[in-house]
């Protein structure tokens, strides 16, 4: 039995989980999230808990058991608390403007880079720090990764966009005579 999959998902007050044959829908104060169900596992709501069980002990079912439980748990956390990722912009002459859904970055290119976030993801800018927040953990992580990919941090001076908790491995520069 999967150690993660066998744990029930606690449903806090103000959150409703609806299970259809093809979708699991979670509604809460921060929005609504949907996840398709997998054939090998089934989801049942009993009282204030959601229980994920697998249909048999074949390898595909065992692999998807814990995954489905984690996805549902992330949806419950997302509609109650939300998720956020923090990014830092480092570099001389680099600037960040915007907020809400759009972002304009001056990253040393010949033109400013414009980025628009998808619906359900919010971007906040504070000087050289960018905070990406939203209800969906997958969307927040994807948007943060796309913003970071605009100018990855380089190992010699550390210039670029990095996660706030990321450590950049620095290299020594060219040895002089």
Residues 56 and 96 in one domain: no
> Are residues 154 and 103 part of one domain?
yes
| Range of the structural domain that residue 76 is part of | 9-80
Judged by average pLDDT, the poorest of 17-21, 91-95, 141-145, 171-175 is 171-175
49/97 same-domain check:
no
Pairing between β-strand 95-99 and β-strand 83-90 as defined by DSSP bridges: unpaired
What are the pLDDT digits (tens) for 67-85?
Answer: 999 999 999 999 999 999 9
pLDDT tens digits for 23-47? 999 999 999 999 999 989 999 999 8
Answer with the one of 53, 80, 107 that is the final residue of a domain.
80
Per the CB < 8 A criterion, the answer to whether 160 and 152 are in contact is: yes
For the chain, how many structural domains are there in total?
2
Of 80, 109, 124, the position where a domain reaches its end is: 80
Q: Do 40 and 71 belong together in one domain?
A: yes
pLDDT band at 1 (very low <50, low <70, confident <90, very high): low
48 and 72 in a single domain? The answer is yes
pLDDT tens per residue across span 93-112: 999 998 889 999 999 999 99
Q: 27 exposed, middle or buried (CB, 10 Å; 0-12, 13-18, 19+)?
A: middle
135 in any annotated domain: yes
Q: Which pTM does this prediction carry?
A: 0.88
Is the pLDDT at 113 greater than 90, yes or no?
A: yes
Q: Residue 23's beta-bridge partner residues?
A: 36
DSSP 109-153: SSS-EEEEPPTTEEEEEETTEEEEEES-HHHHHHHHHHHHHTSPP
For 123-152, the pLDDT digits (tens) are 999 999 999 999 999 999 999 999 999 999
Whether residue 1 lies inside any domain: the answer is no
Instruction: Please tell me the distance from the alpha carbon of residue 129 to that of residue 22, in angstroms, as a whole number.
Output: 40
**27 domain residue, yes or no:** yes
Which residue has tokens 């489905």?
68
**Count of residues making up the chain:** 177
CA 164, 165, 169, 172 torsion-angle sign: positive
CATH, residue 99: 3.90.930.12
Give which of 141, 146, 161, 160 is closest to 78, Cα–Cα: 141
């Amino acid at each position: 039995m999967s150690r993660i999959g066998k744990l029930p998902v606690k449903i806090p007050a103000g959150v409703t989980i609806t299970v259809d044959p093809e979708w699991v829908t979670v509604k809460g104060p921060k929005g609504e999230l949907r996840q398709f169900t997998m054939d090998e596992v089934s989801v049942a709501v009993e009282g204030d808990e959601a229980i994920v069980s697998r249909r048999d002990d074949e390898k595909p079912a065992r692999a998807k058991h814990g995954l489905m439980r984690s996805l549902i748990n992330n949806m419950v956390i997302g509609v109650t608390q939300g998720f956020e990722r923090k990014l830092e912009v480092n570099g001389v002459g680099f600037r960040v403007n915007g907020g809400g859904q759009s972002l304009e970055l001056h990253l040393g290119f010949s033109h400013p880079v414009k980025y628009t976030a998808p619906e359900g993801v919010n971007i906040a800018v504070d000087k050289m720090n960018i905070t990406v927040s939203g209800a969906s953990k997958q969307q927040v992580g994807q948007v943060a990764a796309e913003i970071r990919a605009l100018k990855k941090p380089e190992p010699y001076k550390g210039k670029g966009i990095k996660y706030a908790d990321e450590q950049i491995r620095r290299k020594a520069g060219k040895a002089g005579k």
